Amino acid sequence: MQNQIRNIAIIAHVDHGKTTLVDKILHSCAIFRDNQETGELILDNNDLERERGITIVSKNVSVRYKDVKINIIDTPGHADFGGEVERVLKMADGVLLLCDAFEGAMPQTRFVTQKALALGLKPIVVVNKVDKENCRPEEVYEQIFELFFNLDATEEQLEFPVIYGSSKQGWMSTDWKKKTEDIFPLMDAILENIPPAPYNEGTLQMQITSLDYSSFVGRIAIGRVARGTIKENQPVSLVKRDGSIQKSRIKELYTFEGLGKVKATQVNAGDICAVVGIEGFEIGDTIADFEKPEQLEVIKIDEPTMNMLFTINNSPFFGKEGKFVTSRHVRDRLYKEMEKNLALKVVETESPDSYLVYGRGILHLSVLIETMRREGYELQVGQPQVIVKEIDGVKCEPIEVLTVDVPGDVAGKVIELVTQRKGELLVMEPKGDLQHLEFEIPSRGIIGLRNNVLTATAGEAIMAHRFKAYEPWKGNIPGRANGVLVSMETGKTTAFSIDKLQDRGRFFVDPGVDIYEGQILGEHIRDNDLVVNLVKGKQLTNMRASGSDDNVRIAPAIKFSLEESMEYIQADEYIEVTPQSMRIRKIYLTENERKINAKKFVNQ
């Protein structure tokens, strides 16, 4: 039986079609009843993932094909969720590397592929979306071979099989010009090339690589049995990261079948299972033999590169919309997140109401904020800051490799914007009908860059970046070019006052919205901040004239997403996040307080 299990992880850059491919595998292996409603992107099962069209948390499913059980792990494509990918790769024996037939290997593909090759996993390359116009499958194949070579792949890994196809249309083939009817050529390639899960005899060893939570049984440990057999009701030792040992007992065991879990009495080495009944475990701990516990190598996760201040909401509109508003609520929620989000770190500050949260990047932190907001939390967050280290007495900061694909006629604008932020151009070459640019740039320089690049290229730039290394500090980077319009009064905005102030800048609020003193209402046309009154209405008299009363014409308000707001704010500003609203505000609400505390923010 033991040869009948294959464990495979699907890795790819964001938007190259991982989750869509898993959909097709699930359908073609007849997991569903004929009358069952399934929809698309079956594995992206929380609202945030569906809205953004990205995978945030890795998922396990299994299918049966030719009497072989194939455990499939769908992984996130963003480097911000690298912590998630690094640990789930430990459960796999092989990887499906998915690539877009036009875009080819992107920076984040490189990041995940490097981790997979270092673990010695056997790759199968799938060149997806060959039905797209201007696709270039042969070039992409060459590019991937070169990538593997540069990442020190072994000879065996370099002889990877390649499958072409379109997950959306549901076909795969060994030749991209020959369209087939189904995706079975890919399934056959998995059986032929991915080694069976090894059956290691001996005492029990299983590393916990991810978590699940159930309101009935509490926390559930998920991992792959590395050695021996795990049984229901078996006494075990839990070996913690620091080597300490806790005695425990397994209450229930589940294996993954289809989209769900099935109860099992015992699970052999090589299979992935979920364990109920173990208390106080963390990701990376080892479930081992009761009498002779042996620890598996602890998972090492790359360190966070960015931090943000999370604090309670103390604005005048505090507590109007959220259920959880106190510092105790915010603290408990952040520590709960730290249990399952390995790349996240929470540090208490001198103030009992504020916490520094360390993460992998803006997207990583914004997903946490968005999740908390949907759960009913109210909080405020400060400007994202990169983590600066001192290495051998030299102040160093994180440097990233940034790639931008843009139409040739606007490449000059992009180069100008990136070099202003201390970026260095390394590569400039044609890629299809686009210009491919590669830069090295400090992580600080990337914050706020995306909006400017998209504006300059009329939305046609494709940007991606990955962490490279810590290098010496590159000097001062200019922040936001324009100042902001700050509210002078608390009340409701009026169309009359917005209309009269339109020549002063662009507004973020519509007429008839509640605002408070110190809230940021728009962007000034100059580089200084301006205090404005949007609450003032028109002086009403009982005289009316048909010609002299103006019709109010107002430009639409600019609406920022959470990530755009995080990139927009400066050191003296907060974003107030509540379940229904998001406002940008000054830390000090009155103009007098801002003048007194102005010096605090000069050097930031």
Measured distance CA(252)–CA(249) in Å, rounded:
9
CB 82 within 8 A of CB 116: no
In the chain, the amino acid numbered 446 is: I
Query: Can you point out the beta strands (E) in 384-518?
Result: 385-386, 389-391, 394-407, 424-431, 434-442, 462-472, 484-487, 491-492, 505-507, 514-515
Query: Which ranges constitute the DSSP H helices of 493-581?
Result: 495-500, 562-568
pLDDT at 40 over 60: no
Angle, CA of 572, 575 and 579, to the nearest 5° = 165
Buried b (16+ CB within 10 A) or exposed e, 423-433: beeeeeeebee
Q: Specify the CATH class of 484-540+549-601 in words.
A: mainly beta
- The domain spans of the chain are 2-193, 205-289, 389-472, 484-540+549-601
- Fold agreement (389-472, 484-540+549-601): no
Helix/strand/coil (H/E/C) assignment for every residue in 27-85: HHCCCCCCCCCCCCCCCCCCHHHHHHCCCCCCEEEEEEECCEEEEEEECCCCHHHHHHH
Integer angstrom CA distances of residue 303 from 80, 83, 389, 393, 529: 11, 9, 12, 20, 37
Tokens representing 53?
């069209």
pLDDT of the residue at 53: 47
CATH architecture of 389-472: 2-Layer Sandwich (3.30)
Angle, CA of 188, 192 and 198, to the nearest 5° = 125
Tokens representing 227?
């050695």
Q: pLDDT: is 300 or 203 the higher one?
A: 203
pLDDT at 232 over 60: yes
The annotation status of 130 as a binding-site residue, yes or no, is yes
pLDDT of the residue at 486: 92
Please identify which residue in the block is written with the tokens 């071979």: 145
Residues present in the chain in total: 604
The annotation status of 17 as a binding-site residue, yes or no, is yes
The annotation status of 16 as a binding-site residue, yes or no, is yes
Q: Residues 523-543: pLDDT tens digits?
A: 998 888 899 988 887 776 666
pLDDT band, very low/low/confident/very high, at 272 (cuts 50, 70, 90) = confident
Please identify which residue in the block is written with the tokens 């973020």: 508
Measured distance CA(575)–CA(370) in Å, rounded:
12
Residues 6+ apart with CB under 8 A from 545: none
Q: At what angle do helices 449-456 and 411-420 cross, to 10 degrees?
A: 160
Q: How are the residues of the chain apportioned to helix, strand and coil, as percentages rounded to the nearest 5?
A: 25, 35, 40
Residues 6+ apart with CB under 8 A from 128: 12, 16, 17, 21, 98, 99, 100, 101, 165, 166, 167
Is the model's pTM score more than 0.85?
no
Measured distance CA(5)–CA(72) in Å, rounded:
11
The annotation status of 129 as a binding-site residue, yes or no, is yes
Question: Euclidean distance between the first and final Cα of the chain, in Å?
Answer: 62
* DSSP-derived pairing of the beta strands 306-311 and 379-381: antiparallel
Tokens representing 510?
């519509």
Measured distance CA(448)–CA(567) in Å, rounded:
4
pLDDT band, very low/low/confident/very high, at 161 (cuts 50, 70, 90) = confident
Q: At what angle do helices 137-150 and 107-118 cross, to 10 degrees?
A: 50
The annotation status of 90 as a binding-site residue, yes or no, is no
CA-based nearest residue to 502, from 483, 487, 516, 522? 522
Q: Residues 479-521: pLDDT tens digits?
A: 777 889 999 889 998 888 888 888 888 999 888 889 999 999 9
The annotation status of 47 as a binding-site residue, yes or no, is no
The annotation status of 20 as a binding-site residue, yes or no, is yes
Average pLDDT over residues 572-586: 90
CB 132 within 8 A of CB 99: no
pLDDT band, very low/low/confident/very high, at 546 (cuts 50, 70, 90) = low
Tokens representing 332?
């408990």
Q: Residues 84-102: pLDDT tens digits?
A: 676 777 788 888 888 887 7
The annotation status of 559 as a binding-site residue, yes or no, is no
Choosing among 3.40.50.720, 3.40.50.10490, 3.30.70.2500, 3.40.50.300, the CATH entry for 2-193 is: 3.40.50.300
Please identify which residue in the block is written with the tokens 């592929």: 113
State what percent of residues in the chain have pLDDT above 90.
Answer: 4
* Three-class secondary structure of residue 309 per DSSP: strand
The annotation status of 340 as a binding-site residue, yes or no, is no
Fold exhibited by the domain 205-289: Elongation Factor Tu (Ef-tu); domain 3 (2.40.30)
**Host H or E run for residue 354:** strand 354-359
Measured distance CA(373)–CA(562) in Å, rounded:
11
* Three-class secondary structure of residue 234 per DSSP: coil
Q: Residues 53-82: pLDDT tens digits?
A: 454 455 677 788 777 888 888 776 555 555
pLDDT of the residue at 32: 41
